[in-house]
Chains A and B, each alone.
Chain A
Amino acid sequence: MAADTSSDDRGLRKGKWAPYGLLSPGILWLVLFFLVPVMILVRTALSSKASRFANPEFSWQFSNFTSAFTDYGPQFVRSFLFAGIATISAILIGYPLAYWIATQGGRWKNLLIGLVVVPFFTSYLIRTIAWTSLLKDDGVILNVIHAIPFVPQDFRLLATPAGVIGGLTYNFLSFMILPIYVSLEKIDFRLTEAAADLYGTPWQAFKKVVLPLSMPGVFAGSLLVFIPAAGDYLNNRYLGSPKTSMIGTVVQDKFLVQFDYPVAAALSLVLMAIITTMVLIYSKFLGTEGLAV
């Protein structure tokens, strides 16, 4: 935001109390129902619980954090691995589409990018269930795959890591396409003509000019895909199996089924800490512009 304050100056008021008055309801809500709860979660993570139905007692119980790592290492690894692969897949699928819309969309651009948002208007859960119908062993997609020679007869997608990663990639793909498109839209494509005049090949022009300029979009999209993917448990529930359980699965189960709050709180805070570190590193290099605005 700092970059364009100069153009924002027209009629900007130096309010003394008015801005705080306007801010207070919304910010108060976020303090009460976002900031305070997260602090309570920190407290819970440092508590101990005598029995299953006892209330957690605050006791600087740091062992919750160590047992979060030692007991649920595989789930953490799987979460970040699956979310990482889903993010990379979303870049590989989403970038070419965003590039195609930005360069060849012509007057259909608005419609084409609008189509990318349409899947949002059906429930995420129902879309995921639709994938179980598409990917099941006697479903449309597997019938096509089994028609290919040399595919083993027991090849399947449901209840495999590939199924979960596919679901994560699909469900968050639009979050990748939109910011990449926005950053490609800002590029003056006459720069590629300049590159061609300087005897650059189209590929060189893309690699040296377009790609670097669109990186903020790629980074913003990566965070928008990675964050929800790393904490997700629905894709695993419907497209995976207990063998592919992720950290979200454990947190949900510990909170809502086993009532083991301290360890669950520690697990979710570790997840949050890792993601916040990534966001901070990101905003250090690229600012909050791409993410927030």
Chain B
Amino acid sequence: MVMSEGVAPPYLSRELEQPGKTRKGSTSSQRAGSRWGRRILTAFACLVYLYLFLPLINIIVFTFNDPAGRYNISWDGFTINNWLDPFKDQELTNAFIRSLEVAVLSISIALIMGSLVAIALARYRFTGSRGIEIFLVLPLTTPEIVLGASLYQLFLGRNVVFGFSTVVIAHVMFCVSFVALTVKARVRGFDWTLEDAAMDLGASPWRSFRKITFPLILPGIVAAALLSFALSLDDYIVTDFTKGEFTTFPIQVNNAFRVSFPPQVNVLATIVLIVSVLLLVLTSVRSEKGATR
């Protein structure tokens, strides 16, 4: 679960969109590396991509499997029935919907709180800002199992009923730092005097925020939202400790694995994959347009 800004897709950041940078790299590598060295490196890179995508290909291919038993892990024949009936498994569908609910709610809370922290850190100079920055990194460098176990002890000691709300509290917790650091990286070096200029021209503080500050931090917020969504939807370990009888999609898949692994799991996972990739492409195309404008 450990996340850093390095995980935010770097192509969403302005830094990499500067033209000319790419040329610098390719010309020099032509001089530096021998032709064979480059060919071997290219072949190796293709193999790494194959490795990265092998399980995804497996997941997608197995959405078309017609498993003989209750486990969709051996190839038994082609069918499109799974795609015609993706919500066949009621328990799984409910867990999937609950996962989406948890993700949407926790991300909304984390985005607001995290962005405020980012604005405070990027825009003001104040005592303790360095300490706050270090404190923000800590949840990201703590193993998930410790985050989960400590929340488990907190809720248990206070007799809190485990369920939807405890899972949301946990998801907000691990998303806040991530949002704050991603948005902050994005607004670093932003010229805050633009806000003064707007106010000198008679804009109210709210108007100058809406017209100047918000559009500038928006790409950072979008990047943070996308990746926190993936984090929340995907989370297993922290959820395992805070769920009680409540089940999210990954938890349901794991619990059901003792008796079955239906192809609908693959179909739902593939739908999430396709939607996320589309969103990613859309936002990066939009941010590239924004950069060239």
Interface on A for B, CB 8 Å cutoff?
A: 1-2, 4, 7-8, 10-16, 18-20, 22-23, 25-27, 29-30, 33-34, 36-38, 40-41, 44, 93-94, 96-97, 99-107, 109-111, 113-127, 129-134, 136, 138, 170, 173-175, 178-179, 181-182, 185, 188-190, 192-193, 195-196, 202, 205-206, 217, 220-221, 223-224, 227-228, 230-234, 248, 251-252, 255-256, 261, 264-265, 268-269, 271-272, 275-276, 279, 288, 290-293
Contacts and interface: CB of A to CB of B under 8 A. Distances in A.
Given A30-B177, A107-B22, A292-B181, A173 B52 contact: yes
B169 A292 contact: no
A76 to B, nearest CB: 13
A13 B32 contact: no
Interface stretch (B81-89, B128-136, B214-222): B128-136
Interface in B138-193: 138-147, 149-154, 157, 169-170, 172-173, 176-177, 180-181, 184-185, 188-193
The main secondary structure of chain A at its interface with chain B is: helix
Interface string B35-62: 0011001101100110111111011001
B27 to A, nearest CB: 8
B26 A96 contact: no
Given A100-B41, A189-B25, A202 B34 contact: yes
B179 to A, nearest CB: 8
B177 A44 contact: no
Contact of A96 (B1, B41, B62, B266): B41
A122 B272 contact: yes
B145 A126 contact: no
B206 to A, nearest CB: 14
Contacts of A275: 141-143
Contacts of A26: 113-114, 116-117, 176, 180
Contacts of B33: 103, 202
Contacts of A29: 113, 172-173, 176
Given A119-B55, A185-B10, A248-B237, 13 more contacts: A2-B130, A26-B176, A33-B172, A93-B48, A99-B41, A109-B16, A110-B10, A124-B250, A189-B29, A193-B28, A231-B237, A288-B134, A292-B133
A33 B154 contact: yes
A265 B25 contact: no
Given A123-B269, A233-B237, A293-B5, A130 B25 contact: no
A11 B192 contact: yes
Contacts of A202: 32-34, 37
Contact of B193 (A11, A94, A130, A290): A11
23 contacts: A1-B133, A12-B124, A15-B124, A15-B126, A22-B119, A30-B173, A34-B147, A36-B154, A37-B151, A103-B26, A110-B10, A110-B284, A116-B52, A118-B52, A121-B230, A121-B273, A123-B249, A133-B58, A202-B37, A228-B143, A231-B237, A233-B145, A255-B149
A13 B188 contact: no
A271 B236 contact: no
Given A11-B195, A126-B266, A133-B73, A196 B6 contact: no
B253 interface: yes
B137 interface: yes
Given A104-B42, A117-B9, A170-B55, A12 B32 contact: no
Interface centre among B15, B34, B53, B137 (most CB of A within 10 A): B137
A138 B53 CA distance: 21
A188 to B, nearest CB: 7
Nearest to B126: A19
A36 B121 CA distance: 23
B289 interface: no
B97 interface: no
Contact of B52 (A100, A119, A196): A119
Nearest to B48: A97
A279 B142 CA distance: 10
Contacts of B3: 224
Given A103-B26, A256-B241, A25 B53 contact: no
Given A15-B124, A124-B236, A130-B59, A34 B139 contact: yes
Given A1-B133, A192-B28, A293-B184, A127 B146 contact: no
Contacts of B227: 120
A144 to B, nearest CB: 12
Contacts of A251: 145, 149
A228 B28 contact: no
Nearest to A36: B154
